[in-house]
Chains A and B, each alone.
Chain A
Amino acid sequence: MSAPTTGSTPAASTGLDSAGTDSTGADSTSLAVRAAGVGKIFPTKTGDVVALTGVELTVAAGEFVSLIGPSGCGKSTLLRLIADLDSTSSGELQIFGKSAKQARIDQDYGIAFQQAGLLPWRTVAGNIELPLELHGVAKETRRARVAELASLVGLSDFVDRYPDQLSGGMQQRVAIARALAEQPRLLLMDEPFGALDEMTREYLQGELTRIAKDTGAAVVFVTHSIPEAVFLSDRVVVMSPRPGRITEILPTGLGDVRSESLRESPEYFERVTAVREALHGSPVERANER
């Protein structure tokens, strides 16, 4: 997949409406992700499985976008396509105006998964610096960067520990630090808090909004938690299965500051309801109306 350097859509923070056209603009690289008619088919013995079809999505630089939907809606598949861990079957996918493969090789994105995926024989520092080590960064530079990242995720006292000495939440913070090692402009996250308890989860959500703001990176965040998607995101992309596709894109309009008080605010609940209705495809019955 080769990326025409000038091919793009107009600035498209509104999402769905502007994507999928072949109009050209000068600011293609200001878009973190541009997907036009992206589809993914997995061939199986019993026939082809359509995992994704007709995905039109743009993510602006610095924007926080969540992908939400039931199992099998292709949200993780879409993330893996963006990360070039799988390849598209159809359509066009650009990351900062480049092909997904080029963006991966250029380390334009960092990624974190539901499993922390730390190498158990490496210390916290060894895990955080892994991408830097692979790219031949000098030892002194690596050490400085590890110290910086460890303090960013609040693990400065734990850099010499091994992953099995850490809690699940701490392991996940190490994984996030590793994803940020190359100072990516795009952070891809596949249910990174999915296996954590509720308290750790809410704490790390707050931390993530702070980190995203500090680093100015765009984030594509896969989740199946409605409150999580609303709390974190500028826009929530609602997806639906069989075949996997985008059904709705909802801007949250909750502003730049995401504090704990937001979780109790009426706007927040309103957005949660809106996303829930989009997921169910109909207005949700309230408990007191039953």
Chain B
Amino acid sequence: MTLRQAQDDALRQAQDGASITEAPKPGGAMRQARGGRSAYDGSGWTPPSWVRIVAPVVVGLVILLLWILVVDVLAIAPRALPSPIAILEQIADHNDIILEDMAITARNALIGLALGAIVAILLGALASAFGPIDGMLAPLVSAIAVVPIVAITPILNTMFGASSQFGRVAVAAIASFVPVFVNVLRGLRQTRPVHRDVLRSAGANGWQTFRVLTLPTAVPYLMTGLRIASSIAVIAALVAEYFGGPADGIGTAIATYAKSGRAALAFAYVAGGIAIGLAFFLVTSLLERIATRRKPV
């Protein structure tokens, strides 16, 4: 399986309906789940908390050692699979150009995420306020959700020209739109009857009810949508680079170096791509955690 196929698969999975409609996790439940040493958790034996950190580290080290064994010691790996040590060397030697390309891809993903999210929030608000608009948008959103983003990427890249980053930004924006829209629309419908009664009995008007109740209720859902969309935006911005546009960015570099036989440098760029995705995910997860820390009473 080539890297491109793998990424296409990841993108398709990410766009799957099931993965874009998670409910926000209340902070309390998470805190409880991490409580650890409860007597009745159903599974009988609870491992001590350090195991949760050490176990994945051990798995990672074992894989790394196997990798070194296959490539460096036994030398039975194909040429396209470089040694982790070689990759680290490439990262150290070329960190300046890797960082430069990372900045370009990250910028495309961020602008795309912001654009997609803004449009999604505006349309979500309209759809929740006016039933007919919801009816009009629903088929359109379903259509966008099922269009494989890679299928329209070459068209968008051609549309906005080979010297413009906007084709890539547009791809990231379209990919981010759906999860944000779905979650915002859902969040705007989560106000509880007792809260609506409280505001009505306090004589609140429509705008006050939106500002004081509807909007704060929807924010955790918006943050969940943003968290899901952030990973998709990075993947979309990176994959879009395989289909033309300016000769920069992480994706372009991976394609170029993989084709020209510099596998270790290509993998160094892959590490850069992982770093961007991780950064986006961690920041949006943190925002989500902050937004969901007050669970409804």
Contacts and interface: CB of A to CB of B under 8 A. Distances in A.
Interface of A: 83-85, 104-105, 107, 109-111, 113, 115-121, 130-131, 134-135, 162-164, 171, 178
Contacts of B294: 120-121, 162-164
A104 B203 contact: yes
Interface in B193-248: 194-195, 197-204, 208, 212-213, 216
A117 B202 contact: no
Contact of A134 (B192, B204, B295): B204
A135 B212 contact: no
A130 B212 contact: yes
A164 B28 CA distance: 9
B202 A120 contact: no
Main secondary structure of the interface of B (DSSP, over half): helix
A171 B198 CA distance: 14
Contacts of B200: 84-85, 104
A109 B28 CA distance: 35
B193 to A, nearest CB: 9
User: What are the nearest 6 A-B pairs in CB distance?
Assistant: A117-B194, A120-B294, A131-B202, A163-B297, A111-B201, A115-B194
A162 B200 CA distance: 22
B297 A107 contact: no
A246 B295 CA distance: 40
Contact of A117 (B198, B208, B295): B198
B47 interface: no
> Which of A83, A85, A121, A163 has the largest number of chain B CB atoms within 10 A?
A121
A118 B203 contact: no
A120 B203 contact: no
Given A117-B192, A121-B216, A134-B212, A171 B297 contact: yes
> Which of A107, A162, A163, A164 has the largest number of chain B CB atoms within 10 A?
A164
Contacts of B295: 120, 164
Contacts of B35: none
A134 B197 contact: no
A110 B213 CA distance: 19
25 contacts: A85-B200, A85-B201, A104-B203, A105-B203, A107-B202, A109-B201, A111-B197, A111-B198, A113-B197, A116-B297, A119-B213, A119-B216, A120-B294, A120-B295, A120-B296, A121-B294, A130-B202, A131-B202, A134-B203, A134-B212, A135-B202, A135-B203, A163-B297, A164-B28, A178-B198
Nearest to A179: B201
Interface residues of B, number: 20
Interface string B253-297: 000000000000000000000000000000000000000001111
Nearest to B28: A164
Given A104-B203, A117-B197, A134 B216 contact: no
Nearest to B200: A85
Interface string B28-48: 100000000000000000000
A113 B194 contact: yes
A12 B108 CA distance: 74
Nearest to A163: B297
Nearest to B197: A85
Contacts of A178: 198
Contacts of A84: 200-201
Given A117-B195, A119-B212, A164-B28, A104 B297 contact: no
Interface string B8-25: 000000000000000000
A107 B199 CA distance: 12
Contacts of B213: 119
Contacts of A118: 297
Nearest to A166: B297
Contacts of B216: 119, 121
A216 B198 CA distance: 22
Interface string B173-203: 0000000000000000000101101111111
A162 B199 CA distance: 19
Interface in B86-142: none
Contacts of A83: 197, 201
Given A83-B197, A134-B204, 17 more contacts: A83-B201, A85-B197, A85-B201, A104-B200, A107-B202, A113-B194, A117-B192, A117-B194, A117-B197, A119-B212, A120-B294, A120-B296, A131-B202, A134-B203, A135-B202, A162-B294, A163-B297
B198 A134 contact: no
A276 B273 CA distance: 73
A117 B198 CA distance: 7
Contacts of A110: 201
A48 B123 CA distance: 38
A78 B185 CA distance: 34
A113 B199 CA distance: 12
A183 B142 CA distance: 51
Contacts of A121: 216, 294
Given A117-B192, A120-B297, A134-B212, A107 B203 contact: yes
A116 B197 CA distance: 11
A99 to B, nearest CB: 14
> Which of B192, B202, B213 has the largest number of chain A CB atoms within 10 A?
B202
A134 B194 CA distance: 17
Nearest to B211: A134
Contacts of B201: 83-85, 104, 109-111
Contacts of B197: 83, 85, 111, 113, 117
